[in-house]
């Protein structure tokens, strides 16, 4: 059972992701901000993080930085409405960058393939 | 003389009465003592004061010659020693006196002659002085000539009957008559002399009358003079000979003269003894003066010839001065004009005004009938008339334009003035052209080494009797100076116009830039807004899908939810395109594999392709060079084109995706079966909002176009028989491929390692 952490300040989005990924068979938790996410990561073990960029306070990139400090091997998927950060080197630590869409297929695919790879590489 | 005493010894007192020795009549009619009765005429009063004033010399003279006195004197010799002594003395004295008297007479005579000659000299000098005063008092050549002639013919001066003046024209090499004065018949001469005698005018008055009147009674001779033109060669005429030999020729007898007197001169002037003197200055002969006394028949003396020579010399000086003065005046006026031109040119920056000013001045100052100012474009070898000025018939002016163009081109080709003083004798002109103008001149306008135009002028009009009616070197020089100024003025005016244009364009560009910035700002804003919209859209669409999934297949609500989902997708598409368009920033270039881009793009549209059941043929070349591009942007391009192809692909149709190297670019070809796009639509494919047919905003291809352009490539589209539409994205292989390992290569980009199976770089 894979555990996913969805980090997004938008409640509706979080709820959507939680529902969708649950249906896929994942255990999903949600954090509404960077600091909350970090705290949750400390407390529990997660297999993948879905991270939004535009958040008030600590934004997604900063959060990513922090995560990388302690959990280098934790795959992070950046999921943002903005696609500008795709070419930004700050996102290169992330495994993937998926632009937000109402059609979650791409995101689901990406998560699935990342987790499969991780299983393989172990 | 000793005290007279009586001859006798009686010591009779001297008598104061005159007495004559000869009682009889003697032949000495002027002796005052003649006829005196007492017989002793040599007895004078005691105190020797002359008894009859004025009679002393006659007395002594006569007594010394009086035979009676002398015989008495002889007789008294030897009587007494003292008597003899007296007599001797008296005789001696009388002899001496005679000698002294003769000598005195001779001396007086001599002095008188000298005095006379001095008087003549003084008179001559004073005449010359007067003449010179009057002559040098004016700088007008016309007047000077009149003064000279008046001096030669006036009774108060040299007193000849008639005279004519000739001047040398060095350019033409001729001696030409300028003026003449004198009566034309005996009757007229007589009348004039009696007039003059009666009125007794002074020399100054004569001169004043001569210089004030214009022609008048001297017309015949003046006209005759103007008709005389002799080439400056020997054997033509006596006047020419005088000039060439630089000496006076006094022909006393015209029939026996061995030199040449031309027919023309005989007809106009020569009838009788005459004299020709050259008018000289500084060793140079510049003319001739001819004079005679045909009416008075008075022979011409050597003195008169000398005097005439002196006058001629003075005349030469005066004429030369006047000529210099006139030419200086002309030059000064030209300089003043140049100044005016310069000021005018500096103060007008309108090209048209400058051109007209130059055209006008060109003609007016040198006395041309008309002028044309030409403008020349060196790069295109194009000559256009810029401005015209002219007096005279406009038809002539118009026809002159063609001739003028020819002339202008010569001047420009030569890069130097072209002077054609006489068109009729120049073989370069056609017959019709010769008829258009008498003499023409053209100068190029050159500024800073560029030829910017030319000035052509035609038909000079003489400004005075001494001005030529053909263009001369001085005119050429003036026009050349004017041309220099004009060239700079034209250049300046052009530069000014160019500056104005540039300023205008700059302002326009600034305005455009401002607008663009506003748009950009707007774009940024719209980007922000678009982003803000995306989040809610995700939720709406996402949940709609969820609900849809949970409904039974035949639930009617499914239809409603389908609509919600579809509309959300549409909104997302719109957003995507808007965002693409709004953030067309500079591409971040790196060396990338184009095949990787294509592969990923295909992957991303795979769902759509699947939905349309498209058959995709992939033909990606190996060994393609890496291209300098912005990965994401080019990916966008490929995606947009693929989506467009899919849009027009019939269901189940074929699609071809190819990459290959062609020349120095790499081409990505995306072709799809289907309807051919008609020609006019093809042109507008890349216009924003044009292809907003079924869905989307119509920006996809526009964005693609822009991105490819930014990369220095181009998108081409064509319709094929086989394939309905063929898109070709041609990207240049950069000249200097960046082969170094950039630091970013070493990034921790785990995703990349999985993306392509080939090695990174």
Question: Which residues on adjacent β-strands are paired with residue B446?
Answer: B451
Which chain A residue has its CA at the smallest distance from B744's CA?
A89
When CB atoms are compared, the residue of B569, B749, B754 closest to A103 is B569
- Decide if domain B139-327 falls under CATH 3.30.450.40: yes
d(CA A35, CA B101): 162
**Cα torsion for B734, B735, B739, B745, to the nearest 10°?**
-20
Q: What is the pLDDT of residue B467?
A: 63
Give the pLDDT confidence score for residue B391 in this predicted structure: 66
**Of A82, A94, A104, which has the smallest distance from its Cβ to B542's Cβ?**
A104
Output B701-704 pairs: Cβ under 8 A, ≥24 positions apart. B701/B640, B701/B641, B701/B644, B702/B581, B703/B577, B703/B580, B703/B581, B703/B584, B703/B636, B703/B637, B703/B640, B704/B636, B704/B637, B704/B640, B704/B641, B704/B729
- Hey, which residues does B166 pair with through a beta bridge? B177, B288
| pLDDT at position B13 over 70 | no
* Percentage above 90 pLDDT, chain A: 40
Model confidence at A49, in pLDDT bands (50, 70, 90)? very high
Which among B565, B579, B588 has the least Cβ separation from residue A87? B588
pLDDT of residue B47: 38
What is the per-residue burial (b if ≥16 Cβ within 10 Å, else e) of B281-301?
beeebbbbbbbbbbbeeeebe
B593 — alpha (psi -120 to 50), left (phi > 0) or beta?
beta
Asked if the model's pLDDT at residue B691 lies above 60, the reply is no
Q: Do domains B139-327 and B348-583 have the same CATH topology?
A: yes
C-alpha distances in angstroms, B68 versus A26, B24, B429, B469?
198, 11, 109, 92
Residue A62 buriedness (CB in 10 A; 0-12 / 13-18 / 19+): middle
What pLDDT is stored for residue B20 in this prediction?
56
Q: Which of A17, A94, A100 sits opposite B534 (nearest CB)?
A: A100
The pLDDT of residue B667 is 93
CA B629 to chain centre: 63
**A87 shares contact with chain B (CB less than 8 Å):** yes
| B439-B440-B441 Cα angle (round to 5) | 140
Q: The domain A3-121 belongs to what CATH superfamily?
A: Response regulator (3.40.50.2300)
SS3 state of residue B444: strand
Three-point CA angle B736, B737, B741, nearest 5° = 130
Of A10-19, B578-587, B613-622, the range with the lowest mean pLDDT is B578-587
Probe site for chain A from B524, B533, B536, B538 (most A CB atoms < 10 A): B538
Where does the pLDDT of residue B660 fall: very low under 50, low under 70, confident under 90, or very high at 90 and above?
A: very high
Quick: pLDDT tens for B249-286: 998 888 888 888 888 888 888 888 899 999 988 888 89
pLDDT band (50, 70, 90) for residue B2: very low
- Taking Cα atoms as reference points, which of B392, B534, B710, B159 lies closest to residue A98? B534
Q: Using the beta-carbon criterion (under 8 Å), do A16 and B565 form an inter-chain contact?
A: no
The predicted complex's ipTM stands at 0.80
**Could you give the percent of chain B with pLDDT greater than 90?**
9
98-117 of A, contacting B, C-beta below 8 A: 100-105, 117
What is the Cα–Cα distance from B383 to B444, expressed in whole angstroms?
12
Residue B193 pLDDT: 77
For residues A84-98, give the mean pLDDT: 68
Q: How confident is the model over B208-239, as pLDDT tens digits?
A: 777 776 544 557 888 888 888 999 888 888 99
Q: How far apart are CA B57 and CA B70, in angstroms?
A: 17
Q: Does A65 touch chain B (CB under 8 A)?
A: no
Higher pLDDT, B556 or B333: B556
Q: How far is CA B61 from CA B15, B20, B75, B438, B463, in A?
A: 21, 14, 20, 88, 78
Distance between CA atoms of A74 and B185, rounded to whole angstroms?
A: 141
Cα separations (Å) of B662 from B189, B528, B576, B621, B668?
A: 111, 41, 32, 11, 10
Banded pLDDT at B45 (limits 50, 70, 90): very low
Q: Where are the domains of chain B?
A: 1-136, 139-327, 348-583, 585-755
- Integer Cα distance of B461 and B364 in angstroms: 10
pLDDT digit string, tens, across residues B572-590: 887 777 766 655 555 567 8
- Tens-place pLDDT, residues B534-572: 888 888 999 998 899 888 888 888 888 988 998 888 888
B348-583: in CATH 3.30.350.10:
no
The tens digit of pLDDT for each residue in A20-47 reads: 999 899 999 999 999 999 999 999 999 9
What ranges do the domains of chain A cover? 3-121
Distance CA(B413)–CA(B541), nearest Å, equals 80
If pLDDT is split at 50, 70 and 90, which confidence band does B16 have?
very low
Nearest 5°: the CA angle B222, B225, B229 is: 155
Tokens of B480: 């050349």
pLDDT, one tens digit per residue, over B57-79 is: 555 556 666 666 666 666 666 55
CATH topology of domain B585-755: Heat Shock Protein 90 (3.30.565)
B515 touches A: beta carbon within 8 Å: no
Q: Which residue of B has its CA nearest to A72?
A: B748
What is the DSSP code string of B452-503? EEEEEEEEE--SSTTS-SS--HHHHHHHHHHHHHHHHHHHHHHHHHHHHHHH
Q: What is the mean pLDDT of chain B?
A: 77
**Is A100 in Cβ contact with B539 (below 8 Å)?**
no
Contact call for B531 and A82, based on CB within 8 A: yes
Report percent pLDDT > 70 for chain A.
89
Phi, psi (5° rounding) for residue A5? -115, 120
pLDDT value, residue B747: 39
Give residue B93's pLDDT band: very low, low, confident or very high (50, 70, 90).
low
Nearest CB to A16 within list B542, B632, B748: B542
Q: What is the pLDDT of residue B755?
A: 41
B606 interaction partners in chain A (CB closer than 8 Å): none
Per-residue pLDDT band at A99 (split at 50, 70, 90): confident
* Burial of residue B735 (number of CB atoms within 10 Å: 0-12, 13-18, 19+): exposed
The residue with greater pLDDT, B432 or B709, is B709
How far lies B22's CA from each of B17, B69, B70, B289, B494, in Å?
A: 15, 8, 11, 68, 122
Predicted TM-score of the model (pTM)? 0.41
> Residue B379, exposed/middle/buried by CB under 10 A (0-12, 13-18, 19+)?
exposed
Residue B524: list chain A partners with CB under 8 A: none
Residue-wise pLDDT for B156-177, tens only, equals 778 888 899 999 988 788 999 9
pLDDT band for position B393 (50/70/90)? low
């Amino acid at each position: 059972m894979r555990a996913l952490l969805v980090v997004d300040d938008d409640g509706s989005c979080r709820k959507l992701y939680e529902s969708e990924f649950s249906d896929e068979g994942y255990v999903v938790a949600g954090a509404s901000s960077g600091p909350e996410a970090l705290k949750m990561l400390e407390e529990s073990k997660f297999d993948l993080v879905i991270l939004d960029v535009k958040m008030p306070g600590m934004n997604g990139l900063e959060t990513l930085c922090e995560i990388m400090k302690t959990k280098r091997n934790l795959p992070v998927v950046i999921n943002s409405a903005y696609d500008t950060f795709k070419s930004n080197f700050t996102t290169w630590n992330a495994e993937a960058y998926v632009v937000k869409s109402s059609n979650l297929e791409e995101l689901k695919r990406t998560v699935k393939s990342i987790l499969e790879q991780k299983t393989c590489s172990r | 003389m000793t005290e007279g005493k009586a001859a006798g010894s009686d010591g009779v007192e001297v008598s104061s009465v005159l007495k004559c020795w000869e009682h009889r009549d003697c032949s000495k009619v002027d002796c005052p003592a003649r006829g005196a009765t007492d017989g002793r005429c040599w007895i004078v009063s005691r105190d020797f004061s002359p008894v009859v004033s004025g009679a002393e010399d006659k007395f002594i003279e006569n007594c010394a010659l009086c035979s009676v006195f002398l015989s008495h004197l002889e007789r008294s010799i030897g009587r007494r020693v003292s008597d003899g002594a007296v007599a001797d003395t008296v005789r001696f004295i009388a002899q001496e006196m005679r000698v002294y008297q003769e000598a005195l007479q001779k001396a007086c005579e001599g002095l008188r002659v000298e005095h006379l000659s001095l008087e003549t000299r003084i008179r001559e000098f004073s005449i010359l002085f007067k003449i010179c005063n009057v002559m040098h008092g004016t700088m007008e050549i016309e007047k000077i000539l009149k003064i000279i002639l008046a001096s030669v013919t006036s009774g108060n001066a040299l007193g000849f009957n008639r005279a004519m003046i000739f001047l040398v024209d060095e350019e033409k090499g001729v001696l030409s008559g300028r003026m003449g004065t004198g009566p034309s018949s005996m009757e007229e001469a007589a009348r004039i002399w009696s007039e003059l005698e009666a009125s007794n005018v002074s020399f100054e008055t004569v001169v004043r009358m001569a210089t004030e009147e214009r022609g008048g009674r001297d017309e015949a001779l003046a006209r005759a003079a103007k008709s005389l033109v002799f080439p400056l060669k020997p054997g033509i005429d006596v006047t020419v000979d005088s000039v060439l030999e630089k000496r006076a020729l006094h022909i006393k007898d015209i029939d026996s003269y061995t030199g040449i007197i031309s027919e023309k001169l005989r007809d106009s002037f020569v009838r009788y003894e005459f004299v020709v003197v050259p008018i000289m200055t500084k060793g140079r002969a510049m003319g001739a003066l001819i004079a005679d006394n045909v009416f008075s028949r008075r022979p011409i003396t050597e003195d008169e010839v000398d005097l005439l020579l002196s006058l001629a010399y003075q005349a030469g000086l005066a004429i030369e001065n006047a000529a210099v003065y006139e030419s200086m005046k002309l030059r000064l006026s030209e300089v003043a004009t140049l100044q005016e031109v310069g000021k005018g040119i500096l103060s007008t920056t309108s090209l048209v005004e400058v051109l007209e000013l130059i055209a006008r001045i060109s003609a007016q100052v040198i006395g041309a009938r008309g002028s044309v100012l030409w403008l020349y474009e060196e790069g295109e070898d194009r000559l256009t008339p810029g401005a015209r000025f002219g007096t005279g018939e406009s038809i002539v002016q118009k026809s002159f334009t063609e001739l003028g163009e020819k002339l202008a081109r010569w001047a420009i080709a030569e890069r130097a003035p072209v002077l054609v003083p006489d068109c009729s004798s120049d073989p370069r002109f056609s017959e019709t052209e010769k008829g258009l103008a008498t003499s023409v001149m053209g100068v190029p306008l050159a500024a800073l080494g560029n030829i910017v135009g030319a000035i052509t002028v035609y038909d000079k009009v003489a400004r005075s009797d001494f001005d030529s009616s053909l263009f001369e070197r001085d005119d050429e020089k003036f026009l050349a100076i004017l041309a220099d100024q004009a060239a700079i003025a034209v250049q300046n005016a052009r530069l000014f116009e160019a500056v104005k244009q540039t300023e205008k364009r700059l302002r326009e560009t600034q305005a455009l830039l401002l607008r663009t910035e506003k748009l950009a700002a707007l774009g940024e804003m719209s980007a922000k807004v678009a982003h803000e919209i995306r989040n809610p859209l995700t939720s709406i669409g996402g949940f709609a899908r969820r609900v849809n999934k949970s409904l039974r297949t035949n639930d009617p609500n499914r239809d409603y939810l389908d609509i919600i989902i579809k509309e959300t997708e549409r909104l997302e598409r719109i957003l995507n395109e808007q965002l693409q368009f709004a953030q067309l920033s500079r591409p971040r270039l790196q060396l990338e594999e184009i095949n990787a881009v294509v592969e990923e793009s295909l992957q991303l549209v795979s769902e759509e392709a699947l939905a349309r059941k498209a058959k995709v043929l992939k033909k990606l070349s190996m060994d393609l060079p890496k291209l300098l591009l912005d990965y994401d942007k080019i990916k966008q391009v490929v995606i947009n084109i693929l989506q467009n192809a899919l849009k027009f692909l019939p269901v189940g149709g074929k699609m071809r995706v190819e990459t290959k190297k062609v020349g120095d670019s790499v081409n990505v070809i995306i072709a799809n079966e289907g309807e051919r796009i008609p020609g006019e639509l093809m042109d507008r494919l890349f216009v924003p909002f044009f292809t907003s047919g079924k869905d989307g905003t119509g920006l996809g291809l526009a964005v693609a176009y822009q991105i490819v352009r930014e990369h220095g490539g181009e998108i081409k589209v064509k319709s094929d028989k086989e394939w309905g539409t063929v898109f070709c994205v041609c990207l240049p292989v950069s000249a200097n491929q960046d082969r170094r390992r950039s630091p970013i290569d070493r990034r921790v980009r785990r995703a990349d390692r999985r993306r392509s199976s080939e090695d990174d770089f």
